[in-house]
């Protein structure tokens, strides 16, 4: 089991920015509590690769508004993982050439909702 406060703090330390990142997800706390230390370490390694620009983002061409930005001003990084045979996803959102603004963690249903908000998913099934 991973401590939620430690998990968030490690992420904030990895991205090292003054702007406060939002941690979002319908069951964020429960998912973090289900993680093993090894699963959390994999996520920290992935984040370090994102920050060092070793992982390519999903680029979005939409001019749809999203909070203070338009979607085409954002970069999105995706990380899938499984805990107890349930698929979870992380969507890590960054403003191009600037700050990381959101860390989404949730199951597939939540992931689909965020993808729709970010104009990454055009239709429902």
Condensed to tens digits (0 to 9), the pLDDT of residues 21-39 reads 999 998 999 999 999 999 9
pLDDT for the residue 123 = 54
Question: Mapping DSSP to helix (H, G, I), strand (E, B) and coil, where does residue 17 land?
Answer: coil
CA 61, CA 74: separation in Å to the nearest integer?
Answer: 9
Quote the pTM value. 0.91
Does the pLDDT at position 122 exceed 80?
no
């Amino acid at each position: 089991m991973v401590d939620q406060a430690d998990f968030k703090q490690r992420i904030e330390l990895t991205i090292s920015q003054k702007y406060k990142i939002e941690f979002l997800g319908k069951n964020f706390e429960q998912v973090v509590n289900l993680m093993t230390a090894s699963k959390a370490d994999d996520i920290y390694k992935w984040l370090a690769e994102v920050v060092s620009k070793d992982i390519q983002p999903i680029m979005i061409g939409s001019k749809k508004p999203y909070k203070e930005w338009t979607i085409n001003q954002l970069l999105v990084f995706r990380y899938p993982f499984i805990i107890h045979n349930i698929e979870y996803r992380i969507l890590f959102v960054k403003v191009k050439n600037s700050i990381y603004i959101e860390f989404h963690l949730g199951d597939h249903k939540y992931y689909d909702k965020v993808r729709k908000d970010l104009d990454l998913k055009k239709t429902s099934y």
